[in-house]
Amino acid sequence: MKADLVVRNARVVLHDGEFHGGLAVKDGVVVAIGADSALPQGTREIDAKGKVLMPGVIDPHCHLGVKYPFPEDMRTETAAAASGGVTTALLYIRNLKPSYLPFYAERKELGEQNSLIDFGFHFGIQREEHIAEIPEIVAKTGVRSFKCYFGYEPDNPIGIVPATDGWVYAAMRILSKIPNAVINVHCENTQIATWLKTEMKATGRQDLGAYTESRPSFCEVETIRRMIFLAERTGCPLHLVHTSVGMGPVLAAEAQGRGLNVTVETCPHYLTRTCYDSDLDMTAKISPPLRPKEDQDGLWQGILNGSVYSLGTDHVPFFPKKGEDLWNELPGVVSFPWELSLLLHFGVHQRGMSLSRLVELNSYNPARRFGLAPKKGTLRTGADADFILVDLDMEKTVEHTGKGTCIYTGWKLKGWPVLTVSRGTVLMEDGHVDESGFGRGRCVTVPA
């Protein structure tokens, strides 16, 4: 058999170990993986020269088409993702109409017409009808992951409808009976944050720290505790998205110890930035906010001790921020192109995190949590040939030319992806993204 693409002479890293060798791809799937001598010949052969070969990054948390048109974001942002080694992106999408079915059909079609990489969806619960529709949504769309949002005041600038405890409880009760279903919660106590915001606004402060202090860490810790309580009552799997507090992984580990299915996601910005960094201003507003140093330390502890389950970027391209008023600024930043490099630099190089642990956080665990395994998230015979080559020693400075706000511009990071392959197709090589593939990406959250 002749393969389409063969990579040899690589340091192959999977979630459970590593070896020297490579893999072979035919028709978009892995047909052999192992020592160089065990691989067939390929139409194209790549000598990795000892670089790291790992599964492509699965970014389970992004928001596309929020301000810019959805088809446009599905091009520009999936190209940015491919440049950073991301081969699958899952979008949290919201719809204010009573049913998700027409919205899903439209987004799936537009995605498959424009996306460079594979993609899928989670649905935001925005009204009561969405809860009743869950069984039908699962049957007809294959999406089993739903999100409830706390922390958004009724007049929030993005138009998110905040959840009630009743919504969460009712959704959990239904999801607990559906195999592999999961509820995602944005944890921040809406009422306390609203109260403190009014107080803080009256002081006239406009610095980034004022935003954080108007919704302090305990607001998030309180809601995490409440959600774990409800997950225990209902038996529903719970995923704590974009966790910014050091107590998050501690509480999840405690819950897991009692046998609960509770997992924690954190994001690169909470691991690398604090709300008091002197070079940041209101344009670094994010929801939940950047936190003080002690929360960052707690999250790194969770990364290193295994109690953080997965990473997500929360990538959201907004129009250029105005920097005029802290309270009206849209919350969110972009990080598809640098998530992996930030983790290589601050995790692997600075803190001694193993590459296998990085693969677990970035690929293996998100695939398991959201029903993409075993086709994605690891590399074995029969799996989708989604992989990257990483140059651990390459040093490069972050430059941002795309949409949205970047909070890392000018940072010199060590460790960069140099090749991104999606189902056997090379999407990025030596920093150059091949944009001829727009529309090749496929929706991966589909009925079983």
Minimum distance between the CB of residue 289 and Zn ion, rounded to whole angstroms?
13
Residues 154, 176: Cα–Cα separation, whole Å: 29
Closest CA to 235 of 254, 249, 253, 255: 255
Quick one: 331 or 441, whose CB is closer to Zn ion? 331
Using the rule CB under 5 A, give the single segment among 11-19, 312-320, 375-383, 415-423 that binds Zn ion: 312-320
Using the rule CB under 5 A, give the single segment among 2-10, 310-318, 360-368, 376-384 that binds Zn ion: 310-318
Peptide bond into 374 cis (omega under 30): yes
Minimum distance between the CB of residue 196 and Zn ion, rounded to whole angstroms?
22
Burial class (CB in 10 A: 0-12, 13-18, 19+), 20: middle
Minimum distance between the CB of residue 211 and Zn ion, rounded to whole angstroms?
17
Residues 269, 130: Cα–Cα separation, whole Å: 31
CB-based contacts of 257: which residues, under 8 Å, 6+ apart? none
Which residue is it, tokens 């160089």? Answer: 36
**Which amino acid is present at 4?**
D
Quick one: 78 or 425, whose CB is closer to Zn ion? 78
Using the rule CB under 5 A, give the single segment among 12-20, 34-42, 308-316, 379-387 that binds Zn ion: 308-316
Each residue 256-295 as x (binds Zn ion by CB under 5 A) or -, in order, gives ----------------------------------------
Per CB under 5 A, does 77 bind Zn ion? no
SS3 string, 321-356, reads: CCCCCCCCCCCCCCCCCCHHHHHHHHHHHHHCCCHH
Residue nearest to Zn ion (CB): 314
Using the rule CB under 5 A, give the single segment among 82-90, 311-319, 340-348, 432-440 that binds Zn ion: 311-319
Quick one: 133 or 314, whose CB is closer to Zn ion? 314
Residues 156, 144: Cα–Cα separation, whole Å: 27
Using the rule CB under 5 A, give the single segment among 201-209, 244-252, 290-298, 309-317 that binds Zn ion: 309-317
The site for Zn ion, by CB under 5 A, has a size of 1
Quick one: 213 or 314, whose CB is closer to Zn ion? 314
Using the rule CB under 5 A, give the single segment among 127-135, 226-234, 307-315, 337-345 that binds Zn ion: 307-315
**In this structure, are residues 313 and 57 in contact, taking their beta carbons and an 8 Å threshold?**
no
Each residue 108-137 as x (binds Zn ion by CB under 5 A) or -, in order, gives ------------------------------
Dihedral sign for Cα 107, 81, 323, 197, please: positive
Quick one: 8 or 147, whose CB is closer to Zn ion? 147
Quick one: 118 or 265, whose CB is closer to Zn ion? 265
Minimum distance between the CB of residue 60 and Zn ion, rounded to whole angstroms?
10
Residues 339, 353: Cα–Cα separation, whole Å: 15
Minimum distance between the CB of residue 150 and Zn ion, rounded to whole angstroms?
13
| Binding test (CB under 5 A) with Zn ion, winner from 77, 314, 386, 391 | 314
Q: At what angle do helices 217-234 and 247-257 cross, to 10 degrees?
A: 20
Quick one: 46 or 64, whose CB is closer to Zn ion? 64
Minimum distance between the CB of residue 379 and Zn ion, rounded to whole angstroms?
28
Quick one: 59 or 314, whose CB is closer to Zn ion? 314
CB-based contacts of 144: which residues, under 8 Å, 6+ apart? 138, 175, 178, 180, 181, 182, 370, 371, 445
Residues 162, 413: Cα–Cα separation, whole Å: 37
Quick one: 188 or 314, whose CB is closer to Zn ion? 314
Angle at 340 between CA 27 and CA 50, to 5 degrees: 65
Peptide bond into 135 cis (omega under 30): no
Closest CA to 291 of 280, 303, 305: 280
Using the rule CB under 5 A, give the single segment among 44-52, 313-321, 397-405, 418-426 that binds Zn ion: 313-321
- Binding residues (CB under 5 A) for Zn ion: these are 314
